Amino acid sequence: MTNLKDQFLKKLIPSIEIRQGGIYKVPDDPINPIIKFPTNNLPEDHPQHTRTYHNQRYVLVIQDDKLNKNLSFHYVQVIPLSSRGTETSLTVEIPDELLSQEIPGPSYALVYLCQPILKIFLEKEVGYISPSHDIFTTIRAIYLKLVGLI
């Protein structure tokens, strides 16, 4: 018989394969949002200066595959994507050819909102940007600069 802790930890094991560069759907719940958007970070010209909620949101996994495959590590580092973003020094436009039909374009990686979420919230991979692609390299460089590593 397994103890309560083990039963809980089993629930944290994702049912899908997670890979660096994958673009995934996550639920976008206004009551308990998985992806956090601090209201003071919204653009001033954003309608009503409030966040827009959708049925789902798209995120780009930037975490290394060694941690993605580690079932004891329950979190994944993601960058939210937005179809309403604009290109700044902390965002990167994702070209339409790198997006699947499911993802509305244009889409921007909001690097300044990089955050950890539980792996179990990733629902389905709907796109992929190879970690060796120039766009991913640019995103990685902005992130490393943002956190003071370069």
Domain that holds residue 135: 4-146
Q: Is the per-residue pLDDT at 15 higher than 80?
A: no
Q: Which tops the pLDDT comparison, 136 or 36?
A: 136
When mean pLDDT is compared over 11-15, 27-31, 129-133, 146-150, the highest value belongs to: 129-133
**Model confidence, pTM:** 0.83
Question: Can you give the CATH number for the domain in which 34 is found?
Answer: 2.30.30.110
Tally of structural domains, the chain: 1
Average pLDDT in the 36-46 region? 58
- Identify any residues that bridge with 116 across adjacent strands, giving them in sequence order: 77
Residue with tokens 């994507």: 81
Q: Are 49 and 90 spatial neighbours (Cβ–Cβ below 8 Å)?
A: no
Question: For the segment 49-62, what is each residue's pLDDT rounded down to a tens digit?
Answer: 556 666 788 999 99
Distance of alpha carbon 124 from alpha carbon 69, whole angstroms: 16
Q: Which residues pair with 75 in a beta bridge?
A: 118
